[in-house]
């Protein structure tokens, strides 16, 4: 996995794509847009079946991962090998999210490695494409040595064994098809005819509970912002004082309104919605939104194992896949 990302469809993606292709075997002439792409697992899986790819996520750390996969430079191995030689330094990450700062997200040495690499990435020697790729590599590699259970809402009290490994950058494999990467609010992207055409298959995988991703991955967003010399944070965990982006899909008050806006106004003639059976929106609410806005749909249930860190919940859950055509 590119990132230990809660909500990732890495395991489910092959099954999701299988079901989509069974319904629409003509996708080779269609564009595919993943509006809530996260780490891009579904877009990577469906890439061989479609004409073009657009992946979108509004979190900076996920955007860096998406760019690494969908807009990589040709010389990735040489770039990664060279950047691994960057000199460690004490910078914003060390002074905010390491043992040296009293926050055990990273060991001091690994945080200094991160800061040294962030500083090296500012060099004019890199093209924009190379810098984007290497920023994604840094975020992914930093995550592999982070001292967290899964999300970054809290760090562990003691360093786990994997967090004490020395941070080493590793190549991120490119997707089989290059794609466009955007960093927009999905509410705007999905209804914008400059991005979404009638022949776009629009894939929606919005948050389904109250967990805001910005509140749970803010150290990775800080790492991805390679030009930040200081970080303005507060509290035990060091959450940004400026706050974080909040999705309307994470609130019972606005989730239905957000989905309705997309379904009603998108130029796309095909939508696939992936949604958990324990989500804020009920099955009936989702069905009503499609029906009331002139879409016909079918629903597929896919049982699967819950994300490994959620040990306090039933290990088995169900993904609903709504496959819809505009009438």
pLDDT tens string 32-54: 999 999 999 999 999 999 999 99
> Environment class of residue 52 by beta-carbon count within 10 Å: exposed (0-12), middle (13-18) or buried (19+)?
middle
pLDDT in tens, 273-325: 999 988 999 999 999 999 999 999 999 999 887 655 445 455 578 999 999 99
At 5-21, the pLDDT tens digits run 777 788 899 999 999 99
Q: Domains of the chain: which residue ranges?
A: 1-72+184-206+251-327, 76-171+210-244
**What kind of architecture, by CATH, is found in domain 1-72+184-206+251-327?**
3-Layer(aba) Sandwich (3.40)
- b/e code 160-194 from CB counts within 10 Å (16+ = b): eeebeeebebeebebbebebebbeeebbebbbeee
- pLDDT confidence bin for 150, thresholds 50/70/90: confident
Q: Is residue 112 scored above 80 in pLDDT?
A: yes
The per-residue pLDDT for range 60-87, each reduced to its tens digit, is 999 999 999 999 999 999 999 999 999 9
Average pLDDT in the 241-245 region? 91
Rounded-to-10 torsion of CA 187, 190, 192, 198: -160
């Amino acid at each position: 996995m590119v990132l230990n990302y809660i909500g990732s469809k890495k395991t489910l993606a092959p099954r999701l794509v299988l079901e989509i292709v069974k319904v629409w075997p003509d996708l080779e002439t269609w564009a595919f847009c993943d509006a809530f792409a996260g780490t891009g697992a579904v877009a990577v899986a469906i890439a061989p079946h479609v004409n073009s790819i657009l992946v979108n996520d509004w979190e900076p750390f996920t955007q860096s991962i998406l760019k690494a996969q969908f807009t990589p430079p040709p010389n990735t191995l040489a770039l990664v090998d060279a950047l691994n030689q960057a000199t460690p330094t004490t910078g914003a990450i060390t002074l905010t999210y390491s043992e040296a700062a009293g926050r055990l997200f990273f060991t001091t040495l690994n945080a200094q490695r991160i800061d040294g690499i962030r500083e090296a990435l500012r060099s004019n020697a890199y093209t924009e494409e190379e810098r984007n790729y290497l920023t994604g590599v840094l975020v992914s590699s930093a995550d592999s040595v982070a001292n967290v259970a899964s999300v970054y809402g809290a760090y562990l009290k003691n360093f786990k064994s994997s967090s004490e490994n020395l941070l080493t950058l590793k190549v991120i494999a490119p997707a089989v098809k290059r794609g466009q990467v955007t960093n927009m609010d999905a509410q705007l992207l999905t209804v914008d005819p400059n991005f979404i055409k009638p022949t776009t298959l629009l894939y929606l995988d919005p948050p389904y509970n109250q967990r805001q991703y910005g509140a749970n991955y803010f150290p990775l967003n800080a790492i991805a912002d390679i030009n930040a010399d200081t970080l303005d944070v507060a509290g035990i965990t060091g959450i940004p004082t400026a706050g974080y982006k909040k999705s309307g899909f994470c609130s019972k008050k606005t989730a239905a309104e957000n989905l309705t806006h997309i379904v009603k106004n998108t130029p796309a003639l095909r939508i696939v919605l992936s949604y958990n059976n324990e989500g804020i929106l009920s099955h009936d609410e989702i069905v009503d939104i499609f029906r009331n806005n002139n879409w016909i749909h079918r629903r597929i249930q896919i049982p699967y194992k819950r994300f490994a860190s959620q040990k306090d919940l039933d290990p088995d859950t169900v993904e609903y896949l709504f496959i819809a055509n505009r009438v």
